[in-house]
Chains A and B, each alone.
Chain A
Amino acid sequence: MDMQVKKKKLGLKEKYAHMTRGLDWQPSYQTKEAVFPYATYEGIKVHDWDKWEDPFRLTMDAYWKYQAEKERKLYAVLDAFAQNNGHLGLTDARYLNAVKLFLTGISPLEYMAHRGFATAGRNFPGVGPRVACLMQAVDEIRHSQTQIHAISNYNKYYNGFHDFKHMLERVWYLSVPKSFFDDAFSAGPFEWMVAIGFSFEYVLTNLLFVPFMSGAAYNGDMATVTFGFSAQSDEARHMTLGLECIKFMLEQDPDNVPIVQKWIDKWAWRGVRVLSLVSMMMDYMLPKRVMSWKEAWEIYFEQNGGALFNDLARYGIKMPECLSRASIDKEHASHQTWSILYQYGGAAAFHTFMPSDEEMDWLSAKYPNTFDKYYRERFTYWREQEQKGNRFYNNTLPMLCQVCQVPMAVTEPDNMLQISYRESDYKGEKYHTCSDGCKQIFDDEPEKYIQAWLPVHQIYMGNCFPEGTDPTVEGFDPLAKVLEWYHLVPGKDNMDYNGSEDQKNFNAWRGLATKND
């Protein structure tokens, strides 16, 4: 007689292990080293890939089902927003400049993240990280697509949304986020995981995503908010992947600790530099503000990031030294970055503007130590000049940091009268960086950074004009030619918001929507 033996139920973790492990094969006619050529050259030692703990257990089958429903919901909201002229419900069309910054500076990076995780997944010899990187690669391309779709509606009505990919590769300040990803993508798979999986997705993502998505919510941009919700449910997986990778490296071999420390130092600082663009967005570009950059930095970095570094200290990992400077810079970053974009607003891919009195009062309340003392007078003067029809545009070009590519117009943390810059000599040439953090990065791998494509330098070298341009003709206007090469129409896609087509159209359309004549 058959006995029914009650089988012990497998836990979810065991179930997942049965479904995902042991599926790879051992190479027979090639060596493992030849199949995974990038697994060792960074110096990371791995003794046991099976110690990798899957931070999330997701199968492709569940993944498609899950993402498909998310897409249906997202696109229903996007359609409704478009069909009901949702753009007229924005607080003010000034807000759209923050969206332009996001579309040109962030969305293409999601695509780069997709490529990077696909590559990392290919290059890791362990099954666990391979599967995790694959999932994240698919997430990232989805984020890129949904962002482009969510924002594309604005392209029907407003300027500056027309050619984001082209702009990312050419426009000067967009080389700040672009070079961050280029630097990570051209590193090895382990450094990529620290740069993007850990530094970007874990340490910095709240400072990047929350301001943009809350900004959208505060300013009536339902399409972008909904995209944010749809992406946030993936972010938890991305963060845990970054954490798992850090833990894995630190636990596999003591020799990995100093390498990981170096990467954390590097990518924390590079991240802080990219975030200077977010700081000005938060403090200056949102008609309805969420919180100040300084407050965001204190909550998301100093408190939450501090808790993380306390835990990492158990492995012997120290808080990057460069970040002590960032806690001084938090009082200045947004004001200085906005000053740069304002004065070079003739070459930007969005509109810039000076804050109103009321907005300046908000800034001085949020920045009692710095705004009135260092910035208010300058901004008031610029605004007066603008009102007199004498809007200030700086017609020279700023020098860029060889590493982070931020214009060198940021001051020393302890001396507001001194522009912060450092010098390094390499093979008989001088290279300039903006800070100790960037100089350290340069000095560690000079051969990599001397190849940086610095937009300003390229303009001066004559590499940023449309094909066939003759700079020797009489009356040659280099800026006009550069803008043509950027695919930007002066005055329409950039310069001051006051008097712009966007401003006129938004006010006219909104008037039609709310009045009868």
Chain B
Amino acid sequence: MSYELTIEPLGQTIEVEEGQTILDAALRAGIYIPHACCHGLCATCKVQVTDGDVDHGEASTFALMDFEREEGKTLACCARLESDVTIEAEIEEDPDSLNLPIEDFDGEVIRIETLTPTIRGVWVKLDRPMQFQAGQYVNIELPELAGQSRAFSLASAPQSPDVVELNIRIVPGGQVTTWLHENLAVGGKIKITGPYGRFFVKKSANVPLIFMAGGSGLSSPKSMIEDLLAEGCTLPMTLVYGQRCRDELYYDAEFRALAAKHPNFTYVPALSSEPEGSDWNGARGFVHEAAKAHFDNDFRGHKAYLCGPPAMIEACISTLMQGRLYERDIYMEKFFSAADASQQLKSPLFKNI
């Protein structure tokens, strides 16, 4: 049977399966607990159990001492729950996290638009308002596909809590996205669970913002920017947004309009495959190249939010870092997988990027 694990100081509660370690469950829920060896020897993942019982598993007697066991310490990489448990871990408290509860919603599709040849905009009316932070995502579950679920970032701003927008790109060969493109129609019913994720704007930092988006990664930045502007944020903010060609550059007109209306918002669109000599007057090349040129290779004093395909993210991180913006100021959605938990070939140089 499974137990509930509450992780302090976040106050977040997650489900832990029988036999699953605390570390594995936390990483899969998107909560980073520092760890290294993953088999009970190095003690990097030591946490304090403040309530409940755990089995210390294969934790080495040199990494988890007797007096520590008595004090309620355990190693997250080996510990398994024997009751509902509360732990305190070395997690930095995030003043910008609202720690919103995750709930299930029934939704009805009220509008569908073709945004690009491969991306559909889908507007869903929820049975009741959902409180979320711009940048977070939801899981949608399809009874028609044996309850399979997929994660989608919310593309609309939290100011509209009962109608949410999802941008769905058709993944070649993808069962769920293909179904959503071919079969989902206005009036269709879907189940939505959320909000998930810790990708949101660090409003408390109060510094200028850079958003870098590409492919179908526009949803979170779009929601974040709309949210900030609706709140009356006057900090300088820049969206560097890339696609291959103009057909794919969805919401281009909307962002141009926002930039015209808000002097603190700058819009930098970039196309990577635009034919030479066309009348395109924006940047040519990839997002990271356009950003480097726009900021003259100096990103200091900003916070950057990245969303897009892995190759774009990697190129943007390198560009930002060589322009002197580092891990503590770079944010992205991170989906942890089992491979991350075993950390076979990832160096521990960075934790979050």
Which A residues are closer than 8 A to B by beta carbons? 9, 11-14, 57, 65-66, 69-70, 73-74, 229-230, 232-233, 235-236, 239-240, 243, 246-247, 251, 254, 303-304, 306-308, 310-316
Given A66-B65, A233-B41, also A308-B9 (CB < 8 A): no
Q: Choose one: B37, B65, B92, B347; the contact of A311 (CB below 8 Å).
A: B347
Cβ A235 vs Cβ B62 within 8 A: no
Task: Tell me the complex Cα distance, A244–B294, Å.
Answer: 31
Task: Tell me the complex Cα distance, A315–B317, Å.
Answer: 10
In the complex, B1 has a CB within 8 A of chain A: no
Task: Tell me the complex Cα distance, A55–B284, Å.
Answer: 41
Q: Choose one: B88, B326, B348; the contact of A12 (CB below 8 Å).
A: B88
Cβ A230 vs Cβ B42 within 8 A: no
Determine the residue in chain A with the shortest Cβ distance to B94. Answer: A11
Which residues B108-130 have CB closer than 8 A to chain A?
none
Which residues B50-75 have CB closer than 8 A to chain A?
60-63, 65-68
Cβ A9 vs Cβ B9 within 8 A: yes
| Cβ of A211 to closest chain B Cβ, rounded Å | 16
Cβ A229 vs Cβ B326 within 8 A: no
Cβ B317 vs Cβ A11 within 8 A: no
Cβ B348 vs Cβ A243 within 8 A: yes
Q: Choose one: B37, B62, B93; the contact of A70 (CB below 8 Å).
A: B62
Identify which of A232, A239, A247, A316 gathers the most chain B CB atoms within 10 Å of its CB: A232
Q: Known pairs A66-B65, A236-B44, A254-B324; list 12 more (Cβ under 8 Å).
A: A14-B93, A65-B67, A66-B68, A69-B66, A232-B42, A235-B42, A239-B348, A240-B44, A306-B345, A310-B347, A312-B349, A315-B322
A residues in contact with B90, CB < 8 Å: 11-13, 57
In the complex, B261 has a CB within 8 A of chain A: no
Determine the residue in chain B with the shortest Cβ distance to A57. Answer: B90
28 contacts between A and B (CB under 8 A): A9-B9, A11-B90, A11-B92, A13-B90, A57-B90, A65-B67, A69-B66, A69-B67, A70-B65, A73-B61, A229-B60, A229-B62, A232-B62, A233-B62, A236-B37, A236-B44, A239-B36, A240-B348, A243-B348, A246-B349, A247-B326, A304-B347, A306-B345, A307-B345, A307-B347, A311-B347, A312-B349, A314-B317
Q: Choose one: B91, B326, B347; the contact of A251 (CB below 8 Å).
A: B326
B residues in contact with A246, CB < 8 Å: 349
A residues in contact with B8, CB < 8 Å: 9
Given A69-B65, A73-B62, A315-B322, also A236-B36 (CB < 8 A): yes
Cβ A11 vs Cβ B9 within 8 A: yes
Cβ A314 vs Cβ B318 within 8 A: yes
Given A11-B91, A69-B67, A243-B349, also A229-B41 (CB < 8 A): yes
Identify which of B36, B65, B89, B322 gathers the most chain A CB atoms within 10 Å of its CB: B65
Given A73-B61, A235-B42, A311-B350, also A304-B345 (CB < 8 A): yes
B residues in contact with A229, CB < 8 Å: 41, 60, 62
Task: Tell me the complex Cα distance, A315–B324, Å.
Answer: 9
Contact residues of A: prevailing secondary structure: helix
Cβ B318 vs Cβ A313 within 8 A: yes
| Cβ of B275 to closest chain A Cβ, rounded Å | 32
Q: Choose one: A73, A230, A247, A254; the contact of B349 (CB below 8 Å).
A: A247
Task: Tell me the complex Cα distance, A13–B93, Å.
Answer: 9
In the complex, B258 has a CB within 8 A of chain A: no
A residues in contact with B213, CB < 8 Å: none
Determine the residue in chain B with the shortest Cβ distance to A309. Answer: B347
A residues in contact with B326, CB < 8 Å: 247, 251
In the complex, B14 has a CB within 8 A of chain A: no
In the complex, B27 has a CB within 8 A of chain A: no
Task: Tell me the complex Cα distance, A315–B92, Å.
Answer: 24
In the complex, B43 has a CB within 8 A of chain A: yes
| Cβ of B283 to closest chain A Cβ, rounded Å | 22
Determine the residue in chain B with the shortest Cβ distance to A251. Answer: B326
| Cβ of B229 to closest chain A Cβ, rounded Å | 31
In the complex, B142 has a CB within 8 A of chain A: no
Task: Tell me the complex Cα distance, A303–B326, Å.
Answer: 25
Task: Tell me the complex Cα distance, A11–B89, Å.
Answer: 9
Cβ B345 vs Cβ A236 within 8 A: no
Q: 0/1 per residue, B195-231, Cβ < 8 Å to A?
A: 0000000000000000000000000000000000000
Given A314-B318, A316-B322, also A230-B347 (CB < 8 A): no
